[in-house]
Structure 1
């Protein structure tokens, strides 16, 4: 692994969607691992600030930067802030995403476009900057979903947006040949976050929790543990989608 580090001696991670849900758990886990963290948030400055405060209170190092992940200039500025504050970028985690559900025949195409703008274009734009800027020994980690395998009703548009992530990640891994940078995707299963719980009744939540052999919903920390592995010691895992779903078929 490369020994390149920030001026403070830490690896530096950018986490999009880092102000809540799985993204927050990832940001806090990477900070606990000793990385300086740049939390990229869409609009909730107060929540992002709470994550920064939690990390710094625990002895970590973090800043928050507002950016629209689908806008290339906005993302470029976020990477500029990371380099200006911490001296470089070693890890990029694409955790920003939205999930809008409806049967295919009833999906509002404006919702379809909005979701694909964030989940597909956003992943592509962030990965593009990451490919240009991540230092040797670094890692790019995109977010997919286990729904691409499950084929659940109402998830067609969301699953399609995440299937694009599955396609982008191994191609980028090959394009970065010779630079000692890994590119992988993480595909969580049902996880107890506002993104998943919103709009679901207790019966649906309980049924989905019992779909796994472990008979519970995932916790954000479960996925953060997988990201920590890919962001640090997992140098021989590259171009893969890892299913972090408790054994969900």
Structure 2
């Protein structure tokens, strides 16, 4: 079989980097071999950790949960595109329009910003990271893509989150003055809405958004692949950790059996 399978997920573990909110993830050992003759762990924490997928209900009331994404959105052909960004960089419609290979209607899209190399418990990755604009999310909705993954901290830009003066924020008010000092602009003017990309992509478009894509992302960037990312079948779930796979068939010899 000629298939090459790449894992685009970060490692899930007790002390993995976590988006700056609470609670954290706790993993404890309930049973272990020396004492009990078997190994069992207890996991406690929210689903918005590591490589994960959000559901519309996470950001808007009376909208679908994680299990209500149709399965056809979670597997299929698409592209991994390079859109490198630096501190507070914005993924724009122009970036998406120029991306190669070209993003087509019905694609699953993985966006390599380069920030997956900075994956760490740090301001550099989270507070000073990049994200897509509301207009960029609308471009993806208009393009009728199936699913989107981001090699950065979230669907939205960090300045469009509660880290600054949005929603429950500011949880990191120092970012407001830092943004003004660095850009000469008011963050609420540049990012007037609270998480518009989440709401545009998932609520308006019913398009799953995968945050913190990483792993072997560089190995498939610039390629057209078959992607898979399946969350739990969790009724009413607000999000779910996912393992994202990219499959490439270099010599085009693989075929599915007929199933009869």
- Is TM (by shorter chain) over 0.5? no
Bigger helix share: 1
TM-score (norm 2): 0.31
Bigger strand share: 2
Which protein has the larger Cα radius of gyration, Structure 1 or Structure 2? Answer: 2
The higher-RCO structure (CA 8 Å, 6+ apart) is: 2
